[in-house]
Amino acid sequence: MTRYAITLAAVAVSLTGLTFGQDKKPDTGESLKAELASLQGKWEQATTTTPGQQKNARIVKEVSGDRETVHRYDPDGKLLQTARATFKLSEAGPVRVFTFFNGEVIDGLGKGRKQSKAISYIYRLDGDEWIEVGGVLTNEAYAKDVPYLTKWKRVGAAVRKPAAVEGDAKLMQGEWAFTAQTAEGIEVPASLLKQMRLTIEGDTFRVTSGGDVVQEGVSTFDATQTPKAFDVAVTGGNEKGTKWLGIYKMDGDTVTACIDPTGKKRPTEFKAEKGSGLFMNVHTRLKK
């Protein structure tokens, strides 16, 4: 996997053509466990192109462990049907697949009907949005139909507001350029960093490349440690779901940080030598 190491936010952003000590393949098992944890809870259908579902005013699915329960309602809010199934998650290259089986209608229309055949669809989970694309895999019941796309929104999802910050975190508010970057001993060309921006608002950060958001998350700073330390939780975009450890130092409108992208051991000095697995960036504040 290729990465940009984001200094202040301890974040990685995809960088085509450069590989920085990433010889090991991602742990798919752990990644899918994290994805399963993120799916837990209640979801409501937001939009769909599924044939025959337009008549349903509302569809809600509840995920608990490896079971999903789907409730369908009519336009007046009356429950039409409740179905339940077991599911598993898998991965084929960059594609995530949701497969459900042992389905049964437990209430309403068709109560008692069972579906033992495994049915799969492609999906993507991005925060509080769950996107599924069906009708394109060979074992799908709907493969004979036109492929469909359905978007689900997490029920009760709240828009997160940046928290109030003090100390160094307050000093870091605003927009920063990427002045320099070293990734495991490799200096990243300035031409590749020119389009990168890091914006910090409250305790949240956002990384953009050419204006497109490529990563976002939450950061916390601890100026009582030596060197000063910060932690990051990546909540969206590249490396979503990971937690990183870093150290930083400030000199006016310049910030230098060194990061461990595995989140296993915090760096102790500002070096990112070959084989260290570390990244080091220098940011300068953009003046308004």
Query: What confidence score (pLDDT) does residue 139 get?
Result: 55
Whether residues 255 and 244 share a domain: the answer is yes
Helical (H) or strand (E) element with 161: none
Residue 168's alpha-carbon distances to 29, 105, 279, in angstroms, are 37, 56, 21
Query: What confidence score (pLDDT) does residue 270 get?
Result: 97
Spatial neighbors of 249 by CB under 8 A, at least 6 apart, are: 227, 228, 255, 256, 257, 270
Whether residues 148 and 165 share a domain: the answer is no
Give the tokens for residue 260.
Answer: 């461990």
Query: What confidence score (pLDDT) does residue 28 get?
Result: 57
Q: Please tell me the pTM assigned to this model.
A: 0.52
Whether residues 17 and 32 share a domain: the answer is no
Whether residues 166 and 281 share a domain: the answer is yes
CATH number for position 144: 2.40.128.20
Q: Please answer whether residues 33 and 40 qualify as being in contact, where contact means their C-beta atoms are separated by less than 8 angstroms.
A: no
Q: How many domains does the chain have?
A: 2
Whether residues 117 and 170 share a domain: the answer is no
Whether residues 150 and 39 share a domain: the answer is yes
Query: What confidence score (pLDDT) does residue 158 get?
Result: 64
Query: What confidence score (pLDDT) does residue 117 get?
Result: 86
Whether residues 168 and 72 share a domain: the answer is no
Q: Please answer whether residues 214 and 207 qualify as being in contact, where contact means their C-beta atoms are separated by less than 8 angstroms.
A: yes
Whether residues 140 and 43 share a domain: the answer is yes
Whether residues 166 and 148 share a domain: the answer is no
Query: What confidence score (pLDDT) does residue 34 get?
Result: 83
Q: Please answer whether residues 168 and 223 qualify as being in contact, where contact means their C-beta atoms are separated by less than 8 angstroms.
A: yes
Q: Which of 125, 154, 183 is the last residue of a domain?
A: 154
How far apart are the C-alpha atoms of 180 and 250, rounded to whole Å?
Answer: 15
Torsion of Cα atoms, 50 then 56 then 57 then 62, to 10°: -80
Query: What confidence score (pLDDT) does residue 279 get?
Result: 93
Q: Please give the chain's pLDDT, 288 residues, in tens.
A: 233 333 333 333 333 223 333 334 444 577 788 889 889 999 999 888 876 665 556 899 999 999 999 999 887 788 899 999 999 999 888 889 999 999 999 999 999 999 888 888 999 988 889 999 988 876 554 445 578 889 999 887 666 666 778 889 999 999 999 999 999 999 999 998 999 999 999 999 998 988 888 888 899 999 999 999 999 998 888 888 889 999 999 999 999 999 999 899 999 999 999 999 999 999 999 987
Whether residues 60 and 149 share a domain: the answer is yes
CATH number for position 271: 2.40.128
Q: Which of 154, 180, 204 is the last residue of a domain?
A: 154
Residue 169's identity, in one-letter code, is: A
Give the tokens for residue 265.
Answer: 């051991």
b/e sequence 249-272, b meaning 16+ C-beta within 10 Å: ebeeeebbbbbbbebeebbeebeb
Whether residues 82 and 128 share a domain: the answer is yes
Whether residues 210 and 93 share a domain: the answer is no
What residue numbers bound the domain in which 238 lies?
A: 4-25+160-285
Q: Which of 154, 170, 189 is the last residue of a domain?
A: 154
